[in-house]
Homo-oligomer: A and B are copies of this chain.
Amino acid sequence: MTSKRYLIIGGVAGGMSAATRLRRLDEQAHIIVLERGGHVSFANCGLPYYLGGVIEERSSLLLQTPASLGSRFGLDVRVRTEAVSIDRDAKTVLVRDLATGEETVEAYDALVLSPGATPVRPPMPGGDRMLTLRDIDDVDRAMAELDVAPRTALVIGAGFIGLEMVENLVHRGLEVTLVELGDQVLPPLDPEMASPVAERLRDAGVDVRLRTQVTELHADSALLSDGTTVPAEFVLGSIGVRPDTSLAAAAGLEIGERGGIRVDDGLRTSDPHIWAIGDAVEKVDAISGEPRLVALAGLANRHGRLAADAITGRDIRVRDALGTAVVGLMGLTIATTGWPEKLLRRVGREVRVIHTHPASHTGYYPGAQSMALKLVVDARTDEVLGAQGIGGEGVDKRIDVIATAIAGGLTASDLADLELAYAPQFSSAKDPVNMLGYVALNAAEGLTPSIQWHELDDAMAAGDVLVDVRTPDEVAAGAIPGSINIPLDDLRTRIDELPEGRVIVHCKVGQRGHTAVRLLAQLGREAANLDGGYLTWQAGESARLDAEARETAAAA
């Protein structure tokens, strides 16, 4: 039997995982990795931090080199080498050395496409001044510009990577403007979960421009869609990425409805000898069961390995993608898994929503940090559809636990029963994830009906009474307009003061509100809890102020 030839196009996360796994499974094969850029297997998620000086050495980003991969894994790694076209009938790829222009033809038994995605670039005058950050060449270009010490920077796009760019440019001491087309920063999150991020950015001196586009880039400034000009000696963009399907499409491989390479649940393209992985490929969304583009390093790595398994004859089945992500920003941790409430409501899913504001660990042990958690649940099945968290320490842990619960098919109520590690420094006897489960149980059993911050205005307009059960001191520091204050501990004796109608109660975070709802319900009053209490309402109000600003602008 002659040895196999495996050809891999793209030498970063997914491609390199496939190549090294192939070697572990087939010592005899000839394994060729073609990479258009100058480097393989680099730390793409570290690029913003190298820019900001947090990662000091450029060499730290280079995890492997063609030479190290050659000696350890016997891989034939060729950088600055482009796959020009695929001849599927002949099972060959036309390959061009970008340095010499020389072209060769490489035969394959199996081909893996891992071309990644390319940054979206808005067409505008001066648009080529906008740098992006996908590979080492990009970061070298950006560093060269930063070396001439600009004082002002513009970041376009307030997604996860955009915020990392902002953080690092602020860290370098630049004055930063952040421009985002949407209503909010971090579009994958719900608005009330993202609004504290915008506040944190503004507090750090970042000029945050929502619902705004950049229309022209000049030498050291930018013209925005609202007619204003902002300083922009340095311009970095992270508007989104587009699957790089050019090679696949030209070869006649099927492209999916979202614009990514279509693969089956064995990662095989429409050609039985070609597999595809990574950001260029459509995944199946775990919540909707529909195709989805998810550009995450973890999935790329996992799928690279699975593709190698499939190519060497193993039986694989790719799991649907949940899309768990996290970002650190100026001391905040923001994480999400599954779908946000807004998207679920948009597609008509009936959801139950739970907001809590727990501490990272017991309040009596020093150093506890506060966080906000949100759980979105299928109202019919109690299935967990999504979760979001924002705060200090421990946010990533709770989102990881919930992502794992979803993977294990646990329901929202099941979260109450999770046995999570507790000591005063690490959690509470009822972990924040357990508490979400407790609240979910109360909701599922109909014990404590709740309404959301965005439903309050309609409820009050319909004649509901809003009762603030916090203490007078808390109320004095800020209250929801139109509320009546009766502290929880007085509610039993002062219930007669309540006007007719359904009672909406609220406290600071929702816990005392729950007790108040139970009390009122048992005393014969229809009652509901304002989910997440004053803190969630306040975050929602902050998000709404931004949205109203848009309507005002549109009306003007």
Binding site for B on A (CB under 8 A): 13, 23-28, 43, 45-46, 49, 54-55, 60-61, 63, 71-74, 160, 164, 296-302, 305, 314, 319, 321-328, 333, 335, 337, 362, 364-366, 396-397, 399-401, 403-405, 407-410, 414, 416-427, 429-431, 434, 438, 445, 447, 488-489, 492, 514-515, 518-519, 522-523
Contact = CB atoms under 8 A, between A and B. Distances in A.
Copies of this chain, tallied across the complex: 2
A364 B407 contact: no
Contacts of A365: 46, 49, 54-55
A362 B46 contact: yes
A421 B338 CA distance: 11
Nearest to A399: B421
A24 B447 contact: yes
Contacts of A297: 422, 429
Nearest to A417: B319
Contacts of A60: 364
A414 B300 CA distance: 17
A69 B307 CA distance: 60
Contact of A404 (B43, B314, B364, B408): B408
A396 B396 contact: no
Given A299-B419, A319-B417, A430-B298, A424 B27 contact: no
Contacts of A364: 43, 46, 55, 60-61, 63
Contacts of A418: 403-404, 407
A108 B186 CA distance: 55
A429 B45 CA distance: 9
Contacts of A397: 396-397, 400
A54 B319 CA distance: 46
B408 A409 contact: yes
Contact of A426 (B26, B299, B323, B396): B396
Contacts of A333: 426
Given A364-B46, A400-B397, A407 B424 contact: no
Nearest to A420: B400
Task: Give the one of A43, A418, A438 with max B CB within 10 A.
Answer: A418
B337 A424 contact: no
A299 B305 CA distance: 39
Given A366-B55, A404-B408, A298 B447 contact: no
Task: Give the one of A326, A421, A522 with max B CB within 10 A.
Answer: A421
Given A328-B423, A404-B404, A419-B321, A429 B72 contact: no
Contact of A522 (B26, B401, B407, B414): B26
A27 B427 CA distance: 31
Contacts of A46: 362, 364-365, 424
B49 A420 contact: no
Per CB-CB distance, the 9 closest pairs between chain A and chain B, nearest first, are A408-B408, A326-B421, A27-B522, A297-B429, A397-B397, A24-B518, A60-B364, A324-B419, A404-B404
A492 to B, nearest CB: 7
A298 B55 contact: no
Contacts of A49: 365, 424
Contacts of A26: 522
A365 B328 CA distance: 13
Contacts of A335: 421
A523 B297 CA distance: 33
17 contacts: A24-B518, A46-B365, A63-B364, A72-B488, A297-B422, A305-B438, A314-B445, A324-B420, A325-B422, A325-B423, A326-B423, A396-B421, A399-B421, A400-B400, A400-B431, A403-B418, A408-B408
A159 to B, nearest CB: 13
A384 B378 CA distance: 29
Contacts of A362: 43, 45-46
Contacts of A396: 397, 421, 426-427
Contacts of A404: 401, 404-405, 408, 410, 418, 420
Contact of A401 (B24, B325, B400): B400
A421 B13 contact: no
Given A326-B423, A396-B397, 6 more contacts: A13-B429, A43-B362, A72-B515, A296-B422, A322-B419, A407-B417
A441 to B, nearest CB: 9
A397 B397 CA distance: 5
A324 B24 contact: no
Nearest to A521: B27
A310 B323 CA distance: 38
A337 B405 CA distance: 16
Contact of A45 (B72, B74, B423): B423
A24 B366 CA distance: 31
A424 B43 CA distance: 9
Contacts of A523: 27
Contacts of A419: 296, 298-299, 321-324, 337, 403, 407
A298 B410 contact: no
Contacts of A71: 489
A242 B24 CA distance: 53
Contacts of A489: 71-72
